[in-house]
Amino acid sequence: MSRLLHKLVVLFTLMALIGGCSTTMPPEAVLAVPAAPQKYASIVVDARTGKQLFEMNSTSPRYPASLTKMMTLYMLFEALTAGRVEKDAEIPVSAYAASRPPSKLGLRPGERIDVDTAIRALTVKSANDVAAAVGEYLADSEQAFAAAMTARARQLGMRDTTFRNASGLPDEGQFTTARDMAVLGIALRNRFPQYYHYFSASDFMFRGKLVRGHNDMLGRVHGVDGIKTGYVRASGFNIVTSYSADGRRYIVVVMGANTARERNAHAESLLERALAASSDKTRVVFQESR
């Protein structure tokens, strides 16, 4: 099959899946859909009921990239809730953690970072050096922490996820699915509502400097209150987006986009269709997966 024909097949398949909408899909939103099936996956879930509204490749293995840090934060929130860790506790930074490649805060070996700042660095900056430090702090090593992350994922119902590190840096053995990321996104809000506000931050102050985040959906799309973006070359651009407004709650996951703008446009388009579906019960906006 030629490359052009392959792209057309993917495009028409998507249009068929989300046909019958109560609103007309803008052409630019269609073109924003990634045409690389080995990377693309998406899902929309009603976070109140757990009902799946739309999916494409949602159970196919994908690289999570920095979406991995959602589970790192889950483990840290769990430790805080259990009283094993305090928010003002100081996390030591090892030479290994400091050596992690960007995105990072640029911490040096021997430095310490308090838990509250570490959480902000993970949610906003997606700092890989901080993720490794948190993993080492909560377990004997990042490897041991990744095994604990995987075990907790299984308990949450994330049946197709394996973690190999705390950051999401490239590892062929680290994979997940769009479905599993939706499960995790819902679990983070339901289990730790007292900490969920961290995912809504678009920036934070660190040592007198303003550190800006990567999630452009925040503040741009009404009702979006988090939660995490991610990118490595092997994964493409990923996002888990949470919407909560007017008594409605949705989780939208898009994985494998070619650019951040494309990813955001597609996530927003899927969210708009979910909102349209809840407003017009006589129309079928999404097709259930089989």
Nearest residue to 116 via CA among 169, 194, 177 = 194
The number of angstroms, rounded, from the C-alpha of 246 to the middle of its chain's C-alpha atoms is: 23
Helix, strand, or coil (residue 43) = strand
**In angstroms, what CA-CA distances link 169 with 16, 22, 103, 176, 227?**
35, 40, 10, 14, 19
Are 98 and 108 a contacting pair, CB within 8 Å?
Answer: yes
Query: Are the C-beta atoms of 104 and 122 separated by less than 8 Å?
Result: no
- Per the CB < 8 A criterion, the answer to whether 238 and 254 are in contact is yes
Catalytic member of 42, 94, 126, 244: 126
Annotated active-site residue 228? The verdict is: no
Within the chain, what is the greatest distance between any pair of CA atoms?
Answer: 61
Catalytic annotation on 126?
Answer: yes
Could you confirm whether 2 is annotated as catalytic?
no
Contact indicator for 132, 122 with CB cutoff of 8 Å? no
Catalytic one among 42, 66, 242, 244? 66
Q: Is 14 helix (H, G, I), strand (E, B) or coil?
A: helix
Length of the chain: 290
Contact status, residue 131 vs residue 71, Cβ threshold 8 Å: no
Catalytic pick among 42, 60, 69, 125: 69
Residue positions annotated with a catalytic role:
66, 69, 126
